[in-house]
Homo-oligomer: A and B are copies of this chain.
Amino acid sequence: MTTADARLRVRYAETDQMGVVYYANYLIWMEVGRANYCREAGIRYRDMEIEGGILLAVAEVNCRYKSPARYDDEVVVRTWIAEANPRMVRFSYEMTECSSGRVLVTGETKHIFCGRDLKPRKLPEKYRPAFGISPAQS
């Protein structure tokens, strides 16, 4: 199983009055994680969208909050593919605070490959290896 690690630092904007990171922001970090995964797997998500006309429409998110991140923490977002076929991909994530190794959040997102019209569309063969999908799979 291939994993990709993205590193980020918590922004003041991402905190709320509880003094910790607001819960929706971890979904933004998941996006940072999977863009980084794609980049390390050899494709830029931007190019796939602009040149390939392929978008990843999100279908499902699950997120478990273990421990809160705080302002200025350095966070690692570890991302890997849990499942993929020419119609969909499911990413898994584990986020940890760097200095302590404390797990912050674990979660998954499921995405449907779509065209620009947001209608489902099979992933073109040239993008399949990056997602660990056999080009011949139907």
Contacts and interface: CB of A to CB of B under 8 A. Distances in A.
Interface residues of A, number: 35
Interface string A23-35: 1110110011001
Main SS at interface, chain A: mixed
A23 B65 contact: no
A108 to B, nearest CB: 10
Q: How many copies does the complex hold?
A: 4
Contacts of A64: 59-60
A21 to B, nearest CB: 9
A16 B18 contact: no
A44 interface: yes
A61 interface: yes
Pick the most buried of A12, A28, A68: most chain B CB atoms within 10 A of its CB.
A12
Given A11-B32, A18-B57, A45-B72, 8 more contacts: A11-B31, A12-B31, A16-B17, A17-B71, A18-B118, A23-B58, A24-B28, A61-B65
16 contacts: A11-B28, A11-B31, A11-B35, A12-B16, A13-B22, A16-B16, A17-B17, A17-B18, A17-B20, A18-B55, A23-B27, A24-B31, A46-B71, A60-B63, A60-B64, A62-B63
